[in-house]
Structure 1
Amino acid sequence: MTPADLSRTVLHAVRRAVDENALRASVPARVRVERARPGGSGDYACAVALQLAGDAGLPALEVARILRERVAAEPGIGRVEITGPGFLSFTLDAPAAGDRAVLDAVREQGSAYGHGDALRGEEIRLHHAPEVRAAVTADAVRRLLAAQGARVGVGCEGGGDLEWGRLGVTADPHETPPGPFATTIRPVPAHATAAELLERLGADATRWGLLRPASHDRAPLGDELLVQGEANPLFRVRYAHARTRALTRDAAALGFTAESDAAPVPYESPARPLLDLLADHPGVLLAAARHRAPDRVARQLEAVAHAFFDFHDSGSPLPSGDEKPSAAHRSRLALAEAAGTVLAGGLSLLGISAPEHL
């Protein structure tokens, strides 16, 4: 919970108290919360009870007691104390165990988060048409299946193209035609050669352009794949990853690191969609492998990038001005780092690089 989140929570409690006729006072436009001073109690403090006391016709301590009852029940609040003449002091709660477990799993497993052994023991043979989109799709499917523990062989139905190697394709173009138990990869053709696409787009944009659409859809392969702006999903995904890495570097320069159990990320906050996407990531990877559908991974990465930017825009993991790094900053940094790890791992499964600087 950021100071802005806490401010909104306290303001909501004031409105409830007024609506319930527990307080007869004008609701302020905003409520200011500050970091607790050295030697003080809790993580944050607020003087709103003193501010409202005169208007309410009540002692500040009584106003503080009325507000404490309503704030203490809010998600993310661990303890609320009344100090001095009527200050409210807030100790933030720890994140839910499930959220903390997701962040810890991402940190421990790194780019392999979401990999598993659901397909261990299965031997799968893939064959693809002698065409660049089919070759790249088969290669991505191979990566997804191998990440779930399967043993995978890939072959081409006809003569291959030496330029495929520059796209990371490792299929043997001389392998025999598919047998009765092989899976044939045959998406809508790209209607361009690997050399043409590489010269115009480069390897990363080519692979994204070929893999992002479902295999039954035509692959748009225009110059929009090279645009460095929000309209280009590939740029947005890679920029989100680069931004998470920049946050880690900037935090290190400020002398603090991430901690997944440092402070809460409440359900209704902008962090929730991002946390849910990270929790769902292993299931998305397994489904993409089972359905031979790398486009599902691309769409998942787009969703993670979008949720990350919403989360980041709601409150940076970095302190501003003279503000000192708090538990909330460490918690938010942990979530940002987890998002970056998932983005890098997903891009790797698609055979696409994840630069730390863009």
Structure 2
Amino acid sequence: MTPAELAALIRSVLLDAVDAGDVALAAGDVPEPRVERPRQREHGDWATNVAMQLAKPAGTSPRALAELLAARLTAAPGIASAEVAGPGFLNIRLEAGAAGELARAIVEAGPGYGRNDALAGQVINMEFVSANPTGPLHIGHTRWAALGDALVRLLRASGAEVTPEYYINDAGAQMDKFGASILARATGTEVPEGGYQGEYVGELATRVLAERPDLADLPHDEAVAAARELGYRLQMAEIEETLAHFNVHFDVWFSERELHEGGAVEQAVARLREQGHVYDEGGAVWLRTTDFSDDKDRVLVRADGTPTYFAADAAYYLSKKDRGFPGKIYLLGADHHGYVNRLKAIASCAGDDPEANIEVLIGQLVSVAGARMSKRAGNIIELRDLIEWIGTDPVRYTLARFPADSPLTLEGEKLREQNLDNPVYYVQYAHARTRNVARNAADHGVTRDDFDPATLDHEADATLLGALGEFPGVVAHAARLREPHRVARYLEQLAAAYHAWYGQCRVTPRGEEPVEASHRARLWLNDATTQVLANGLALLGVGAPERM
């Protein structure tokens, strides 16, 4: 019996009591009860507070309603006991056979186990990473690459339609400086003031010259433009490749330049003016964002006629709205707190509800202990160096297991260690161990041809089954709260339950013992654990190894 099936059973019992006149409620007022694991295992397999929720509208006390439900539940198939605790909690213990059926349900569901419809109907555009295409990805981009991608996976697993999007900041003065820096390295001249340093600029210059050997012969402005465009293409290709190695993928790569060249910025200013939020003062064009809790109004177009970055932000927001995304999630770094009110003000000025249509998540910075700065990129730590040094799985898992708003230091050498003190190794080892158990079972003739869930009667069986049953709820809760770390911490608890079960229950017979029903049933339970560990790691973008 899955938690969802138990919740449906409790609701059915409630409805029967309503029909019998024992509970003074209308059928439409009976919700789907919430079931969860008790904090103390001895209290039972599952608990619900539905009696406390419904007692007042039913005109009775929580404990009286709980006692009525307990008596009816105890008579239901698959329920071993239902006891009232405290002011009206119901602690429920399943019969071994009913509890064990969860193993079969998980194995048969496969990669679909844990998927839910908590966010069904939501259509979301999620922008994250969005690093400037003027250099390699570095540690400052790493946290949102890992968390953003994990959040996309979580939201999709909970029924939302999500489009991950990378906003390419390819307009503005920094792009011209980028081109001038490449040209200077290509021609052996000094990089201009405020230009880009680092060996990667020289590498780009070499590759640009290979494609345009005539670069030095071009007029300066034309040469800067050529170096800029070729360098931009090469640098973006490297960014995409690095992200792919980090298991991060975007559905849309959106160019800021296209906003300007396509007239979207001017159109955005005109649309906002039509809605009454734009005014002119001092030769500049302003957006009245103070009407929407911003600390000051914002300039859209400077007095010299050039649009500001804020104008591009407004145009980009309207582009997302026009492309059919009611929900818009922005993942920004710790230095972008000032953007929150501005973006919400844009949403309000655009006629949206800033509390419903836009969500801004701020992440704290990450540091790395023991890492050397990249000579190639200058005074930074490149993401591709982290991948080469520590590995994608340890970096992604570690970034995912902490709340985004907590400062974090990656202990590189510790993350490389293959021992059970390393959380990512601990969880991946549990998965590899389940696969090894399955291989050994096959060698000993233990198969899943038959399944008697009633033989899963050891306390460790019940504990492991309970942990497995929590997974869909954890996924839905983590998606609603935008907190992938809840999945990581759950996986560590599941791994602990599995390692304890492994030490107490056998899948393969000892010596000349025959294969019994309990061995086959525990192979189902072992393989159910395999599936949940794999599904959870996949949500974090982390591999589930077959052997370690």
Q: Would the TM-score normalized by the shorter structure come out above 0.5?
A: yes
Greater CA radius of gyration, 1 or 2?
Answer: 2
Structure 2 regions of 5+ residues with no counterpart? 1-93, 132-140, 170-235, 256-315, 318-329, 331-342, 348-356, 368-380
Aligned counterpart, 1:211? 400
Aligned counterpart, 2:246? 167
Change (3 A) 1:286 1:244: same
Question: Cα distance, 1:253 vs. partner?
Answer: 1.4
Aligned counterpart, 2:159? 149
Match of 1:322 among 509, 512, 517: 512
Conservation of the 8 A alpha-carbon contact between 1:145 and 1:152: yes
Aligned counterpart, 1:189? 365
Aligned counterpart, 1:287? 477
Question: Cα distance, 1:308 vs. partner?
Answer: 0.3
State the TM-score, normalizing by the size of structure 1: 0.68
Letter of the structure 1 residue corresponding to residue 114 of structure 2:
G
Aligned-partner Cα distance in 1 for 2:435–2:493: 18
Question: Cα distance, 1:189 vs. partner?
Answer: 2.4
Aligned counterpart, 1:100? 100
Aligned counterpart, 1:338? 528
Paired residues for 1:1-358 under 5 Å: 96-129=96-129, 130=131, 131-156=141-166, 159=169, 161-162=239-240, 163-171=242-250, 172=252, 174=254, 176=316, 180=347, 181-191=357-367, 192-222=381-411, 223-258=413-448, 259-266=450-457, 269-358=459-548
Aligned length: 264
1:146-192 CA distance string (max 9 Å, x none) = 11221112234664843222212123453646563233343222244
Change (3 A) 1:317 1:336: same
Letter of the structure 2 residue corresponding to residue 284 of structure 1:
V
Secondary structure class of the residue paired with 2:152 = helix
Question: Cα distance, 1:333 vs. partner?
Answer: 1.7
Letter of the structure 1 residue corresponding to residue 120 of structure 2:
R
Aligned-partner Cα distance in 1 for 2:461–2:365: 40
Secondary structure class of the residue paired with 2:162 = strand
State the TM-score, normalizing by the size of structure 2: 0.46
Letter of the structure 2 residue corresponding to residue 170 of structure 1:
H
Aligned-partner Cα distance in 2 for 1:262–1:97: 5
Question: Cα distance, 1:128 vs. partner?
Answer: 2.7
Secondary structure class of the residue paired with 1:322 = coil
1:12-55 CA distance string (max 9 Å, x none) = xxxxxxxxxxxxxxxxxxxxxxxxxxxxxxxxxxxxxxxxxxxx
Aligned-partner Cα distance in 2 for 1:196–1:225: 15
Letter of the structure 2 residue corresponding to residue 166 of structure 1:
H
Conservation of the 8 A alpha-carbon contact between 2:166 and 2:254: yes
Change (3 A) 1:95 1:336: farther
Structure 1 regions of 5+ residues with no counterpart? 1-93
**Percent of residue pairs identical:** 34
1:318-345 CA distance string (max 9 Å, x none) = 1111111111111222111111110011
Secondary structure class of the residue paired with 1:154 = strand
Aligned Cα root-mean-square deviation (Å):
2.2
Letter of the structure 1 residue corresponding to residue 123 of structure 2:
E
Secondary structure class of the residue paired with 1:120 = coil
